[in-house]
Amino acid sequence: MTPNRYTQGNAVESDIIPMFVRMGITAYNRKPHEYKTKINKSENFTPVGKYGINWNFENDILEDYPNGVISQGNNYYKGIYYKKDEKVPRNKLNNTEFIIKTRKFNIRLESKWQQSAGSVAEKFPYIYHNFINDRYPEPICILLYGGTDEKFLKGAKWIKDEYSKWNEFARSKDFNKKLMIFNMDELRAWVNDNL
């Protein structure tokens, strides 16, 4: 099965996929819950699991793509304001730009970039609260940030500081997920060292 060609988004997003592809990971622009190569249509298949995508078929994906996949698109999860509404089951779900799935890592990657004044910085508290309230199903969440807007960079510093304090003083010993906050250079270094 050949994955569909990914579409290029903004500048930072167009750098992310080639970086992972160079590490041998396959770009996959279909949502993981649409992966149906080995799924019989008569089977019960729910696209959304407890907090997000049902990765029950991850072994099938990794069998076909042994170095892993990076999925770009609507990678759903149930955020802190999620309220189930039977009439519009997907209406309240949040999504993330990227999911990286390898045999070693299961990563949700949030990408936030702002060059000029705007509202992107206001999303940092939402990302932080989704993380500490265990709303991301993956064990690792990477927040990739960048840009030159002063307010935005203060927001990035704020989330780093808050996470550091929470990690030191408030983290439950049973909470074993990790939030990593990187600029693009830090993400490249981490990818080169770990994948």
Question: What pLDDT sits at residue 177?
Answer: 95
Q: Mean pLDDT over residues 91-104, rounded?
A: 83
CA atoms within 13 A on the CB side of 57: 21
Whole-angstrom distance, CA of residue 10 vs CA of residue 120: 14
Looking at per-residue confidence, does 10 or 22 come out higher?
22
Q: Is 80 exceeded by the pLDDT of residue 93?
A: no
Looking at per-residue confidence, does 110 or 13 come out higher?
110
Question: What pLDDT sits at residue 10?
Answer: 55
Question: What pLDDT sits at residue 63?
Answer: 76
Whole-angstrom distance, CA of residue 2 vs CA of residue 6: 12
CA atoms within 13 A on the CB side of 42: 0
Composition of the chain by helix, strand, coil, percent to 5 = 35, 25, 45
Question: What pLDDT sits at residue 163?
Answer: 97
Q: In the numeric block, which tokens belong to residue 181?
A: 């906050």
Predicted structure pTM score: 0.78
pLDDT digits (tens, 9 = 90+) for 21-56: 888 888 866 544 444 433 333 333 333 333 334 444
Q: Mean pLDDT over residues 164-182, rounded?
A: 95
Looking at per-residue confidence, does 180 or 123 come out higher?
180
> Which residue is listed with tokens 């709303």?
135
Q: In the numeric block, which tokens belong to residue 157?
A: 């510093």
The total number of residues shown for the chain amounts to 195
